[in-house]
Amino acid sequence: MTKVENNKAWFLVLPVFLLVAFSAVIPLMTVVNYSVQDIFDQHTAYFVGAEWYREMLQDPRLHDSLLRQFIFSGCVLLIEIPLGIAVALMMPTKGRAASLCLILLAIPLLIPWNVVGTIWQVFGRADIGLFGWAINSLGIDYNYAANPMDAWFTVLLMDVWHWTSLVALLCYSGLRAIPEAYYQAARIDRASKWAIFRYIQLPKLKSVLVIGVLLRFMDSFMIYTEPFVLTGGGPGNSTTFLSQTLTKMAVGQFDLGPAAAFSLIYFLIVLLVSWLFFTTISHLDKAK
């Protein structure tokens, strides 16, 4: 059989091409456009090359919030991944209890992000919030609006409350996919609980954990709404993360050129870290 050239087939991918163009490529190019020009009004724009990038890379505001962002994402992953695995391991496997647990876990995921922020804003207040009041009654001086450590603690706690469920649900589905024969073989091989976790459950969870880590890294690295509602980035700048710095610059100060350069750098960091993580994991897989 000979292949028949039929260039009309290209028309079939046109709808997807248009969709992607309008939803992603064109907006992104607009940002690229802003990042290399100094635009005053519709008719006055100067090409500045890499100037904005250079400026942004030397901007201490970016350095500070980037550092805070990495610490935040690191903490989020270090807490939520092990905690999510632990929750999944402890969940009942069948019956009503299992369904109930699944529903309870899904609830935080269904709440709009700014509502989550508001909930914790009230919850953490020392005067009317149950959590803030309880901590203060224990004799610990806690005030997330005044003390940076308390603010960090509250923001992290809020994120753990909001997103651990996702990791737990992913792991739960991964655990359910392990055939019973593995556990039976492990019993016959006299494996301890730890050995079962280490050599059966953890290896089988690997693929869902890769997804879990990637999702939690990207989401936490781009977090905006919840800390914005809860602390507004304060006290001072202590909980101002990258996205908030960016918004202040773009919307607050209307520095569109630097903000565009900033957001592209931001985008590349997320892409780079995710790519590094993913290739390292897949590479380890292929070894031997």
Partner 1 sequence: MAEIHLKSLAHSYSAQPRSAADYAIREMDHIWHQGGAYALLGPSGCGKSTLLNIISGLLSPSEGEVLFDGQRVNEIPPEERNIAQVFQFPVVYDSMTVYDNLAFPLRNMKLHESKIRSKVLEIAEILELQPLLDKKAKNLTADEKQKVSMGRGLVRDDVSAILFDEPLTVIDPHLKWKLRRKLKQIHEQFNITMVYVTHDQLEAATFADKIAVMYGGQIVQFGTPRELFEAPNHTFVGYFIGSPGMNILDVKSCQGGVEFNGVQVPLDAELCQFLDEVPSNNIKIGIRPEFIHISNETIKGSYECAVIHIEDLGTYKILTLDLAGNLIKARLDEDQQVPEGRAYVSFPKQWLKLYVDEFLVEEAAQ
- Show contacts with partner 1 in window 169-188 (CB under 8 A): 179, 181-182, 184-185, 187-188
Q: Does 93 bind partner 1 (CB under 8 A)?
A: no
Q: Which is nearer to partner 1, 174 or 257 (CB)?
A: 174
Q: Does 288 bind partner 1 (CB under 8 A)?
A: yes
Q: List the one residue from 81, 102, 122, 191 that touches partner 1 (CB under 8 A).
A: 191
Q: Does 54 bind partner 1 (CB under 8 A)?
A: no
Q: Which is nearer to partner 1, 3 or 190 (CB)?
A: 190
Least distance between partner 1 and beta carbon 89 (Å): 18
Q: List the one residue from 199, 224, 248, 255 that touches partner 1 (CB under 8 A).
A: 199
DSSP code string of the chain = -PPPP-TTHHHHHHHHHHHHIIIIIHHHHHHHHHHTEEEEETTEEEE-TTHHHHHHHT-HHHHHHHHHHHHHHHHHHHHHHHHHHHHHHHS--SSHHHHHHHHHHHHHHHS-HHHHHHHHHHHT-TTT-HHHHHHHHTT----TTT-HHHHHHHHHHHHHHHHHHHHHHHHHHHHHTS-HHHHHHHHHTT--HHHHIIIIIHHHHHHHHHHHHHHHHHHHHT--HHHHHHTTT-STTTT--HHHHHHIIIIIS--HHHHHHHHHHHHHHHHHHHHHHHHHHHHHHH--
Q: Does 189 bind partner 1 (CB under 8 A)?
A: yes
Q: Does 197 bind partner 1 (CB under 8 A)?
A: no
Q: List the one residue from 27, 82, 92, 203 that touches partner 1 (CB under 8 A).
A: 203
Least distance between partner 1 and beta carbon 70 (Å): 29
Least distance between partner 1 and beta carbon 198 (Å): 9
